[in-house]
Structure 1
Amino acid sequence: MVVPSATASLGSWNWKRIVRNMFPLLVILSIIVLWAGITLESAEEWLDRYVILAVMVPTMVDMGGNLGAILSSRLSTRFHLGTTELDPTDRVLWANVGAVLALAATIFTALGIGAYLLGFAIGSTLPLSTLLLISLTSGMSVAVIAVVFSFAATYGSYRLGIDPDDTTIPIVTNVVDVFGMVIFIGVSIAVLGS
């Protein structure tokens, strides 16, 4: 449901309002991303054993955040234009979710194949099926999390009268970065063993 009273406050650009809304958010998100770094640090020895997975980490994390940013931007635009109500029967809304998930499947399949080809060139022994399993399981999980957080951040910002353009992308990309790291490491360990 569109909240008409919130649209009046979203139309004006005010740097003080943006800084007031963003500074505490960026501090919290910095702490969250620090946790992702600590997770990566603790998995360093394991990633040294499977070097090709270490090569996949930046792409896995980056693409998850990018998928969330795409959906967040589309949702924010629809809120600003007044063309969405977050109605479960909204076909355009589901088309956007479907497009993001299809893009995720394509990207993470390409990541698994690319990692295999690079691994083949450097002498990695991980088979294509294993890399595809890790890439697709991790990637599609991260894509679902990106969709959920895109909806939550956009709708929550809008309901609070905060311009979703100011908040959604930092929230979604940082949270998805952390989940992407943890999920990728967890799936990799589950598939390959510790």
Structure 2
Amino acid sequence: MDARGSVWTIYRESLPVLLASLAGGIFAGFVLGTPAMVEGFESYPGLLLALPAFLATRGNVYGALGARIASGLHQGIVEPRLLWQRRLVNAVAAAVINGLTMSAFIALASWTILSVQPGRSPAPLFELVGVLVLAALATATVLIVGLLALVFAGYRRGVDPDNLIGPIVTTLGDVFGVVFLLVSMTAVGVVT
């Protein structure tokens, strides 16, 4: 395939998922502006401080998982089906552990930063960790299932997974990260 054909293929494969990502980002922004979210951020200042790092971590951790899956598909060592595959299970387990660990660390870092600032009182540490870890666990479930299903389906139809992974992870991470953050705030009792 010549360079022009390669560019067109990448564009054609990427555009639909990029448009879906745009819509997802707008929806995530809408959820962030809801009264319940604003109430949670006002009640627990550490949540607002943690939000950018929390969302970025979803992209970093599950983007790396997506890259491993794409490499496995290209090399033929991962089959594009939802079945028990040792390499796939190990990669998923590592991603979940990384996501949960980083979420707890983000909560601790946010709490610490606000604790040392004069006149600022952070949310209780246990509740802050609970909200972020619960949201991370729920988001991990959706990200893993969504990422695997969409990448495997695309790959079976001849779409290069490298054109799908970034927008899928970004969209699912932002949309469900924000939604599950709100659900977790409600579950922990931050908002009613």
TM-score by length of 2: 0.87
Quote the Cα distance in structure 2 between the aligned partners of 1:47 and 1:87: 38
**2:186 equivalent to 1:172:** no
Which 5+ residue runs of structure 1 have no aligned equivalent? 1-8
Q: How does 1:173-188 map to 2 (within 5 A)?
A: 173-188=170-185
TM-score by length of 1: 0.86
Quote the Cα distance in structure 2 between the aligned partners of 1:144 and 1:66: 16
Q: Cα distance 1:83–1:59, how it changes in 2: closer, same or farther (>3 A)?
A: same
Aligned partner of 1:3 in structure 2 is: none
Structure 2 counterpart of 1:133, from 110, 130, 134: 130
Aligned partner of 2:84 in structure 1 is: 89
Structure 2 counterpart of 1:14, from 6, 15, 29: 6
Aligned partner of 1:5 in structure 2 is: none
Q: Cα distance 1:87–1:55, how it changes in 2: closer, same or farther (>3 A)?
A: closer
Structure 1 counterpart of 2:46, from 48, 52, 55: 52
Q: Is the 8 A contact 1:33 1:175 kept in 2?
A: no
Aligned partner of 2:157 in structure 1 is: 160
Which 5+ residue runs of structure 2 have no aligned equivalent? none
User: Secondary structure at 1:14's aligned position in 2?
Assistant: helix
Q: Cα distance 1:193–1:25, how it changes in 2: closer, same or farther (>3 A)?
A: closer
Q: Cα distance 1:48–1:127, how it changes in 2: closer, same or farther (>3 A)?
A: closer
**2:33 equivalent to 1:38:** no
Quote the Cα distance in structure 2 between the aligned partners of 1:39 and 1:149: 20
Q: Is the 8 A contact 1:71 1:150 kept in 2?
A: no
Deviation of 1:105 (Å): 2.1
Q: Is the 8 A contact 1:109 1:136 kept in 2?
A: yes
Q: How does 1:142-157 map to 2 (within 5 A)?
A: 142-157=139-154
Cα RMSD for the two superposed structures: 2.0
Structure 2 counterpart of 1:102, from 91, 97, 100: 97
Residue type of the alignment partner of 1:149: G
Aligned partner of 2:21 in structure 1 is: 29
Number of positions where the alignment pairs a residue of Structure 1 with one of Structure 2: 184
Quote the Cα distance in structure 2 between the aligned partners of 1:46 and 1:132: 14
Q: Tell me the alpha carbon deviations over residues 102-140 of structure 1, each in whole angstroms, 9 at most, x when there is no partner.
A: 111211111121122123123324221111111111112
Q: Is the 8 A contact 1:154 1:164 kept in 2?
A: yes
Aligned partner of 1:69 in structure 2 is: 63
Deviation of 1:45 (Å): 4.6
Identity %, equivalent residues: 26
